[in-house]
Amino acid sequence: MKHTKRFNAAAAQVDREELLGVKEAVDKVKTLATAKFDETIELACRLGVDPRKADQIVRGTLSLPAGTGKTNRVAVFAAGEAAQAARDAGADFVGADDLVAKVAGGFLDFDVAIATPDQMGQVGGLGRVLGPRGLMPNPKTGTVTMDVAKAVTEFKGGRVEYRTDKIGNIHIRVGKASFSRDDLVRNIQAVIEELFRVKPSSSKGRYLISATISSTMGPGVKIDPARAREVDDVLVNA
């Protein structure tokens, strides 16, 4: 893939073999985020799991301490009182049969999909549409629930969903380039601690194989896996 001159100039400032502490990696990424817009900062982790085995799929949700810098567009499949509760909580799109039909027709202008259990019979039919995009509601991620108001509020306020891909990678948005170093560090360490919290008991050997952060238009900066869980002063003094 051909990169821009801006990317190549930034990449020239990164030692691909260098492993940094979280603070140092954040400082480097912020320095390299020179686009005219507020770039998103993403954390990519490679885990020592085999996602082909059901008991080694790592997935869930967590609320980032400093939020994500983005307000998610939330679609809720619900009817009756639950639908009204979702609207009152600020859901962007709410519906039952009508929303199912709309999504089946190609509408995907949302970041999170939530459903009440009674709607899953119909929503399940959207698997081919929602599944590949990571949008299928699931009880394990809190997106199949009767308390749709709580779910909408959480996902609007900085709750993120994560799941290993087919080779054991997890990608999570952890903020914006405009965030302070301390806020980005808090978010990154919250993600890493969460991943260790949900580590499958069947996972053997090294668990966090690699961790890299990058901005939308910038190169990846590697975090030393051995130092990724170090408690920084910023957390101790928070």
What is the tens place of the pLDDT at every residue in 39-80? Answer: 999 999 999 999 999 999 999 989 899 988 888 899 999 999
The answer, yes or no, to whether residue 236 has pLDDT greater than 60, is no
214 and 186 within one domain: yes
Domain that holds residue 182: 14-68+160-236
Residues in the chain: 238
pLDDT at 233: 44
171 and 55 within one domain: yes
Question: Measured between alpha carbons, how far is 92 from 76 in angstroms, rounded to an integer?
Answer: 8
b/e burial code for range 125-139 (CB count within 10 A of at least 16 → b): ebeebbeeebbbbbe
What is the tens place of the pLDDT at every residue in 153-196? Answer: 999 888 888 999 999 999 999 999 999 999 999 999 999 999 99
164 and 90 within one domain: no
Look up the CATH number of the domain holding residue 120: 3.40.50.790
Task: Classify burial at 16, counting beta carbons within 10 Å of its beta carbon; exposed 0-12, middle 13-18, buried 19 or more.
Answer: exposed
Contact 195, 208 (CB under 8 A): yes
Span 28-32, mean pLDDT? 93
pLDDT band at 116; cut points 50, 70, 90 = very high
Contact 77, 100 (CB under 8 A): yes
pLDDT band at 11; cut points 50, 70, 90 = low
Question: Measured between alpha carbons, how far is 77 from 16 in angstroms, rounded to an integer?
Answer: 45
167 and 152 within one domain: no
pLDDT band at 232; cut points 50, 70, 90 = low
Does any domain span residue 225?
Answer: yes
193 and 89 within one domain: no
Count up the domains in the chain and report the number: 2
pLDDT at 7: 64
pTM of the model: 0.76
Look up the CATH number of the domain holding residue 48: 3.30.190.20
Strands (E), 87-215: 93-95, 112-115, 159-163, 169-176, 208-215
41 and 87 within one domain: no
Question: Measured between alpha carbons, how far is 83 from 125 in angstroms, rounded to an integer?
Answer: 20
